[in-house]
Structure 1
């Protein structure tokens, strides 16, 4: 049954996503507002497909702190939370690896959407570019989502935070909302996806202005709050 669910999801979601990807540059020509609306439609399609075909639901715990823009630092275990956080947080700007932004067509549309591109080398120039792109998002009333561990990890893995998080935290002077999650249990990087509930837990906001090591320690502990020993 799980195999049939995965096959149905692959056919329906990935097949149905092709028109979205091909049409995204057209939507982008009508401005960022049109592209954001187009993206919301695709995210809604993903949520329906995950729930109806894979049997995956989302449980939100804690306060998402939606009243004012914030810097959200989230665990990253699958594609699932990338789209779910975009839905829950109402069109945030997401910090994205350079390699993804370089994908033809899709990468161009992603930049028009307002992603913030991060360079793995975390050079001074790259950090300045991140800051400029982040300020554009904030001026538009959008929050920022960063996956501070830098890449997807399997459940239980707790790598150290990358330098890009500290750079944004120190320069933007925003409160940080840590986000713990357990999507990798039902949506593993390798192997079939399984029915279940993904918990997305928003932690207490961490104030701006803390020393780097203290802020990193608080964020690291909070985003790993759902990790099983």
Structure 2
């Protein structure tokens, strides 16, 4: 039954993705906020479809911590779920991603229309410069910026190295960070087809102000909060 439910969800993704890619292309003349809202309709519909087919819902704690101005979200990365759900939870946003994702036929075209920050991860210092340049532009246009500091998805209980890019962008644009912990990997595993029913827990932490701090210190504050929160939310399911 889990396989059939997961297959039905996947079928919905396959059928609707080309439709929303067309929407993304037609939305090109609009401003970034409007265009992003239209494109993220696919993600919002997939979160609804996930609930219908796989009985996966989510519960949010800490909504009161969300700033009223564009911010940088630094989040745990366990699943494809958060790349969809964040578009339903947070204001319009720009994702920092590896540039290779834009090369995927059809899917990548839609991504390109959503004002992403696509970087070459192997470029080192040049990648940080590009991140700051484009990230500042996205923030000035009213978009939030989403970064997964561990870079790639990690299984529940696994802890990756927190890369400095998000903290670097925050300190170089004087922007607050919103740390996010969640346990989506317990229900939608990384690279996993089978999805288990349940309630994903998302904890949004108090904003981390970055003025006067070095990027290393900001990165450490973010990592400390997120990793300390993981055992707390894992104990609730």
TM-score normalised per structure 1: 0.90
Change in 2 beyond 3 A, CA 1:14/1:222: farther
After the TM superposition, which parts of structure 1 deviate over 4 Å for at least 4 consecutive aligned residues? none
Change in 2 beyond 3 A, CA 1:45/1:110: same
Question: C-alpha displacement at 1:118, in angstroms?
Answer: 2.7
Matched-pair contact (CA < 8 Å) for 1:179–1:201:
yes
1:226 aligns with 230
1:135 aligns with 136
Distance between the aligned counterparts of 1:220 and 1:5, measured in 2?
A: 35
Change in 2 beyond 3 A, CA 1:59/1:160: same
| SS of residue matched to 1:60 | strand
Matched-pair contact (CA < 8 Å) for 1:64–1:89:
no
Distance between the aligned counterparts of 1:108 and 1:191, measured in 2?
A: 24
1:125 aligns with 126
1:151 aligns with 152
Distance between the aligned counterparts of 2:76 and 2:194, measured in 1?
A: 21
Q: Deviations over 1:61-111 (max 9, x none)?
A: 113414111111001111111111122112111111121123244334423
TM-score normalised per structure 2: 0.87
Distance between the aligned counterparts of 1:92 and 1:191, measured in 2?
A: 27
1:210 aligns with 213
| SS of residue matched to 2:40 | helix
Distance between the aligned counterparts of 1:48 and 1:112, measured in 2?
A: 23
Q: Deviations over 1:157-202 (max 9, x none)?
A: 1111113223212212211111001000000122510111111111
| SS of residue matched to 1:121 | helix
2:201 to 199, 202, 214: 199
Bigger drift between 102-111 and 77-86 goes to 102-111
Bigger drift between 1-10 and 49-58 goes to 1-10
Matched-pair contact (CA < 8 Å) for 1:66–1:89:
no
Structure 2: gaps (5+ residues): none
Question: C-alpha displacement at 1:30, in angstroms?
Answer: 4.9
Question: C-alpha displacement at 1:119, in angstroms?
Answer: 2.4
Question: C-alpha displacement at 1:29, in angstroms?
Answer: 4.6
Change in 2 beyond 3 A, CA 1:192/1:9: same
